[in-house]
Amino acid sequence: MRPSHRQPAQLRPVRITRRYTRHAEGSVLVEFGDTKVICTASVEETVPPFLKGKGQGWVTAEYGMLPRSTNSRMRRESAQGKQSGRTQEIQRLIGRSLRAVVDLAALGERQIVIDCDVIQADGGTRTASITGAFVALVDAVNGLIAAGKLGASPIRDHVAAVSVGVFRGEPVLDLDYPEDSDCDTDMNVVMTGAGRFVEIQGTAEGEAFSRDEMNALLDLAEAGIAQLISLQKQALAT
Amino acid sequence: MRPSHRQPAQLRPVRITRRYTRHAEGSVLVEFGDTKVICTASVEETVPPFLKGKGQGWVTAEYGMLPRSTNSRMRRESAQGKQSGRTQEIQRLIGRSLRAVVDLAALGERQIVIDCDVIQADGGTRTASITGAFVALVDAVNGLIAAGKLGASPIRDHVAAVSVGVFRGEPVLDLDYPEDSDCDTDMNVVMTGAGRFVEIQGTAEGEAFSRDEMNALLDLAEAGIAQLISLQKQALAT
Amino acid sequence: MRPSHRQPAQLRPVRITRRYTRHAEGSVLVEFGDTKVICTASVEETVPPFLKGKGQGWVTAEYGMLPRSTNSRMRRESAQGKQSGRTQEIQRLIGRSLRAVVDLAALGERQIVIDCDVIQADGGTRTASITGAFVALVDAVNGLIAAGKLGASPIRDHVAAVSVGVFRGEPVLDLDYPEDSDCDTDMNVVMTGAGRFVEIQGTAEGEAFSRDEMNALLDLAEAGIAQLISLQKQALAT
Amino acid sequence: MRPSHRQPAQLRPVRITRRYTRHAEGSVLVEFGDTKVICTASVEETVPPFLKGKGQGWVTAEYGMLPRSTNSRMRRESAQGKQSGRTQEIQRLIGRSLRAVVDLAALGERQIVIDCDVIQADGGTRTASITGAFVALVDAVNGLIAAGKLGASPIRDHVAAVSVGVFRGEPVLDLDYPEDSDCDTDMNVVMTGAGRFVEIQGTAEGEAFSRDEMNALLDLAEAGIAQLISLQKQALAT
Amino acid sequence: MRPSHRQPAQLRPVRITRRYTRHAEGSVLVEFGDTKVICTASVEETVPPFLKGKGQGWVTAEYGMLPRSTNSRMRRESAQGKQSGRTQEIQRLIGRSLRAVVDLAALGERQIVIDCDVIQADGGTRTASITGAFVALVDAVNGLIAAGKLGASPIRDHVAAVSVGVFRGEPVLDLDYPEDSDCDTDMNVVMTGAGRFVEIQGTAEGEAFSRDEMNALLDLAEAGIAQLISLQKQALAT
Amino acid sequence: MRPSHRQPAQLRPVRITRRYTRHAEGSVLVEFGDTKVICTASVEETVPPFLKGKGQGWVTAEYGMLPRSTNSRMRRESAQGKQSGRTQEIQRLIGRSLRAVVDLAALGERQIVIDCDVIQADGGTRTASITGAFVALVDAVNGLIAAGKLGASPIRDHVAAVSVGVFRGEPVLDLDYPEDSDCDTDMNVVMTGAGRFVEIQGTAEGEAFSRDEMNALLDLAEAGIAQLISLQKQALAT
């Protein structure tokens, strides 16, 4: 029995709200149950130094949590003077996941910076971030097309992400915090609309896991991500 | 004529939403027009080292802006490895303003940390922060009373803040960003429910200002803060 | 009765010594009683990046205290790896105050950097810094004129600063450390030679203050700053 | 055809040299072909603050590369003032992988710190690090047993790691640098002696990968890790 | 011919002014010609962590330069966020030099922190710092004796320092900046009142130097330091 | 009697292994007994900003120790976020020593960066580093000549270094760690093949030293360095 009374293969209620704040070229509030993340996409007409003059663009991401998005207050990273290893891992993952579906040459010499800021956390912040960030990215790209700066979209496919894990011996989809903090195996899966894998990161928090368990987890993830991509499409259609 | 078509003495629409996120002991979304700040109050049963064993509590504040809360993206302070001078000034101001109405000895040896995070900026983020933070602080203190940890409230009075300034020659209340970035004088005023001053910070951005102008600005601020405190009381009554 | 036996409206003995060190384009030792600050003005023939190519100059300030300028030794900021929030607030205040009386376009594309270093502290270091820094700035500008690099001075007026406060119920001028650390209200006022306000920063350290108290403090400040500007003029005349 | 002329399922020559340097409780030079990493294990009779008094131990890891371990010189992280996100990801991975096979309660209140320093890099530094670090850890634990500080070993199983990837359309084992920098999918797999998974981190560097490709990669990894664990056993037997 | 027209074995005019600022337990302005350094000694009734409970004291030093103590403005180290390698070298040298003449066990479990801050630089700031710091240290120790906290002085001998170098082929004493920036060999020598060496740091800036040259430099240094120690004694006698 | 049973004037066994790692233009493992340092030379076709366009090259050095190169584990400098004062002193010394024998104008506008990384420490790491770094530098320069980028070598002479000290009253050559940590005087000497001095850094760790002791130490150093330079020549001849 899951603490939330969900079925093993059941996502939390997912909401994707576009145009959430007014300044960014793309601005999305994504909610996976009580996990809430603001994802903005900012278009900059420059590229990082290592890409200067190479005729291609870049998509990158930064991630943060409000200090009291969590159950007990975390120290503010700007006050500590550095980002934690966990923060850096997550923002690198978000950036790689989005770049996997973007034709960077077709984007032209410009950069899109995605900011994912968690305002309330209940597990799965990185997968919610990727899922919401994709929608913000589409909005920013559509703005470039509408402004005549791009002729066609450089985005080749959808991308979304979900966590899966073995909780009390059973594979389950979309872990919330009570499950995440008490599971044996935790896996984050990022997939495209075509059903191919972009990232798989599985960790045995307690017992190491078998090949059979991994296969069961991937089955759950595939089905969950298909639903998430369907929700992205609905959000983008409105 | 103000860009927003407001009267000189007219506040923007102000909304104070309590219980905005679920983990913090106090959590408020405060909106001054398009300026939106999440203010949370976190109770910690320790005090900073300089107060250890002195039999009194502490109230402090931290402030941040989401990178794309503004019109063009700002660099993330955690990625830069330090907080800007402006950020430090603002968080010191918020902390002093709140401490001015708290009996720190009556609070006991505990600390309340206020986090003010701007999710959308349109001028006046520091005054909105103080106004919202006070409500979050009251909620956190009431939780301590409800839990039997405090017998009576150590909060002695309300505190709220507003900006005033000389815009195109005319003193106006509650500057939004178009006014703030184009005014001659900008003043932030913090007052108590009893109508006394906690902080006055006036700066001549362009021309230096006269004593008469300052008096006109203070008149506007007094009236505006009285309205804000009335809105705080309404919010706390629901 | 003030600890120093001064009258409420009486400044400490103020001395302004020009050409105090030999390398800087302007070098002033300013003394407000036992508060002693070295203010140097350095001319640099470049501007900060945000002003490149805009046809105007810049005036900025940095502030520091020798570790044992104070009663108990402070940690050295360079050893700690960062400047405190207080230091940043003060150096931003000094810079804004000086820029308020300089025609930056007339200065041309160059920067004048003011360094204010406190060698002995007894309260009022920021107001002494502003008062002395102005004289160093004038010397540096006069050097540019003498060298034929500027045709006329871009300095439009004098600027000076003083602190005022409510000490044991009475408004007093130019707080020394024993007063500053034990007063209810502390206000720093920056004014021009024309008697207009550049900055007002008032803080209720203990009880919030009334409008009447504020008016009494401003009266003291106006008179005190007029004397300081007169002393600046004497110093510059020698 | 692989640049190294290896078969798809062929490891590079692997060497594990124990007692490589003389000060550490465990010191191993691990070589996967031209990739060479010094792994030391240091026993400290304290635990990190978050474990004080909890009656358990800790195993953690740090990772670094000599600036010229790579083809072009990298900036030294100590001179830059921070560790890169990649470095932090890797050292967190090494630590988690080792803790997965250690009974931390049985270790007692002490910490074993693993340092993995790459002196020459040719791809696969993180998997070589894990494989070598395990041997250094065993040596350190055996030293504790020999000294009478531990009655039995808290190490429950072997752990080793290898990279696999899709290079020019073909799944291959143990990528060297020319393969790693030109492959479509790169996966790092960490497994126990019992053939269970501790970590799987797969990334689509170019095209997203299918479930079939992933299965082929895991088959290669399982076989490769079995060989590596056999080599660990040989090394520990001498 | 030296730029200053001094004889090869001639010191610059040296002045040692005690009680220069009022807060520190020892406060000295030391001048070697145009080089001016404020040296303060602060007594702290604690020791650094590595000495806790070892029954001995510590003497340490910090060094800084005002940004415009030099001919062109240097960046402020606190604003840069770190001390330069040169600064750290110098402060370590000052600390070692002073500790060489102090019986740390006799000092008791307390620390004396020496701050050497250069307000005007013309070469030889580190040797002037050592020479002045010794006098400040004596004053601080005498204060401890006067307060009954120490029965006898733990200072065993005088210590002073001077630079020597080969300028245009000739060994000279006490290099000023024009000599220092254009000499072949630069050597800093620290000696005791008994004429023994505490530190010798010689560097060939241009041509490597011979044993004969080194001997000539040491002869100059011995004579110069004897004079400096005589001046310390005069200063302490007044 | 020395702990190692060496004669006072006897070096430890010294080995210089060229081509130790494969990527760097020069790569040397230098061993002074149990002290082992990897020295690499990296050629970069740029110069530091302060030399841009001046028609000369640069040689600089960085130094590090693996955390467990020492008897008890040191904190990793990259994890601490800064290099210690000791590290900076040593890398500055290595750089100066090498530049003393290089004609920087003849090197052309390029930089050679020397990295000295201690993998096992037993005293004398800085002198071993200089001695090994010189050989790596020669290899890198010879590579430039072989590639036709330099017509002749800009290296004018050999340079090598050794430590000497007064151990239990007797002057001895090439201190190992047990001697280094228990000696009265410790001196590092850097000399050229022509027998001239590049650097002398002598420190009285315990008792200050006499001129006679210094002369005895320099005699030992001269003889020791002559042997080291002979070993450099042998290594370069193979």
DSSP letter at F211?
H
Name the residue among E73, E83, E86 with its Cα closest to residue E121. Answer: E73
Question: Which stretches of chain D are DSSP H helices?
Answer: 77-80, 85-99, 104-107, 125-146, 177-180, 211-237
Q: Is the pLDDT of residue E205 over 80?
A: no
Chain C contact for B163 (CB, 8 A cutoff): no
F125 is annotated as contributing to ligand binding: yes
Average pLDDT of B54-59? 95
- Exposure of D4 in the CB half-sphere (CA atoms within 13 A): 23
What's the pLDDT score for residue A1?
A: 85
Q: How far apart, in whole angstroms, are the C-alpha atoms of residue E38 and residue E128? A: 10
> And the tokens for E224?
């110069």
Best of D83, D197, D219 to substitute, by most chain A Cβ atoms within 10 angstroms, is: D197
Q: Is the pLDDT of residue F205 over 80?
A: no
Q: Is the pLDDT of residue A184 over 90?
A: no
D125 is annotated as contributing to ligand binding: yes
Q: Is the pLDDT of residue C90 over 90?
A: yes
Average pLDDT of A10-29? 98
Residue E68 CB neighbour total at 10 angstroms: 29
Answer yes or no: pTM beyond 0.90: yes
Determine whether the interchain pair C201/B200 forms a contact, defined as Cβ–Cβ distance below 8 Å: yes
Residue A64: its chain B contacts at CB < 8 A? Answer: 66, 76, 78
Angle at B232 between CA B227 and CA B238, to 5 degrees: 130
- Span E132-163, pLDDT tens digits: 999 999 999 999 999 999 999 999 999 999 99
Q: Which residues, including other chains, have CB under 8 Å from residue D1's CB and lie 6 or more apart?
A: none
How high is the ipTM of this complex? Answer: 0.95
* Binding-face residues of A in 30-89 toward D, CB within 8 A: 82, 85-86, 88-89
Q: How far apart, in whole angstroms, are the C-alpha atoms of residue F19 and residue F64? A: 20
- Span A150-164, pLDDT tens digits: 999 999 999 999 999
Across A152-166, A210-224, D201-215, least confident range: D201-215
Q: Which residues, including other chains, have CB under 8 Å from residue A53's CB and lie 6 or more apart?
A: none
Residue E209: its chain F contacts at CB < 8 A? Answer: 196-197
Buried b (16+ CB within 10 A) or exposed e, A176-209: bbebbeebbbbbbbbbbbeebbbbbbbbbbeebb
Q: Which chains touch A (3 or more CB pairs under 8 A)?
A: B, D
- The amino acid sitting at C146 is A
DSSP string, C147-188: TTS-SS--B-S-EEEEEEEEETTEEEES--HHHHTT-SEEEE
DSSP letter at E75?
P
Binding site per annotation, positions of B for phosphate: 86, 124-126
Q: Indicate the residue of A92, A96, A208 with minimum beta-carbon distance to D196.
A: A208
Average pLDDT of A64-81? 96
Chain A contact for B21 (CB, 8 A cutoff): yes
What's the pLDDT score for residue B1?
A: 85
Give me the percent of chain F exceeding a pLDDT of 70. Answer: 100
Q: Which chains touch E (3 or more CB pairs under 8 A)?
A: C, F
Average pLDDT of D126-142? 98
What's the pLDDT score for residue A106?
A: 97
CB pairs under 8 A between B and C: 86
pLDDT tier, F238 (very low <50, low <70, confident <90, very high otherwise): confident
pLDDT tier, D205 (very low <50, low <70, confident <90, very high otherwise): confident
Q: How far apart, in whole angstroms, are the C-alpha atoms of residue D152 and residue D155? A: 9
Q: Identify the H or E element spanning B140.
A: helix B125-146
Determine whether the interchain pair D67/F38 forms a contact, defined as Cβ–Cβ distance below 8 Å: no
Q: How far apart, in whole angstroms, are the C-alpha atoms of residue A64 and residue C70? A: 39
Q: How far apart, in whole angstroms, are the C-alpha atoms of residue C28 and residue C6? A: 26
Average pLDDT of D215-223? 97
Please name the residue that has the structure tokens 């920098």. Answer: D181
Determine whether the interchain pair D78/F78 forms a contact, defined as Cβ–Cβ distance below 8 Å: yes
- Span B65-86, pLDDT tens digits: 999 999 999 999 999 999 999 9
Buried b (16+ CB within 10 A) or exposed e, E170-205: ebbbbbbbebbeebbbbbbbbbbbeebbbbbbbbbb
What's the pLDDT score for residue A145?
A: 98
Question: Which residue of chain B has the CA closest to A38?
Answer: B119
Question: Which residue of chain F has the CA closest to E205?
Answer: F100
- Span F45-82, pLDDT tens digits: 999 999 999 999 999 999 999 999 999 999 999 999 99
Please name the residue that has the structure tokens 């010394």. Answer: F93
Average pLDDT of B120-137? 98
pLDDT tier, B238 (very low <50, low <70, confident <90, very high otherwise): confident
Q: How far apart, in whole angstroms, are the C-alpha atoms of residue E118 and residue C225? A: 32
Q: How far apart, in whole angstroms, are the C-alpha atoms of residue E162 and residue E32? A: 10
- Span C135-179, pLDDT tens digits: 999 999 999 999 999 999 999 999 999 999 999 999 999 999 999
In Å, how far is C168's CA from the nearest CA of chain B?
18
Give me the percent of chain D exceeding a pLDDT of 90. Answer: 96
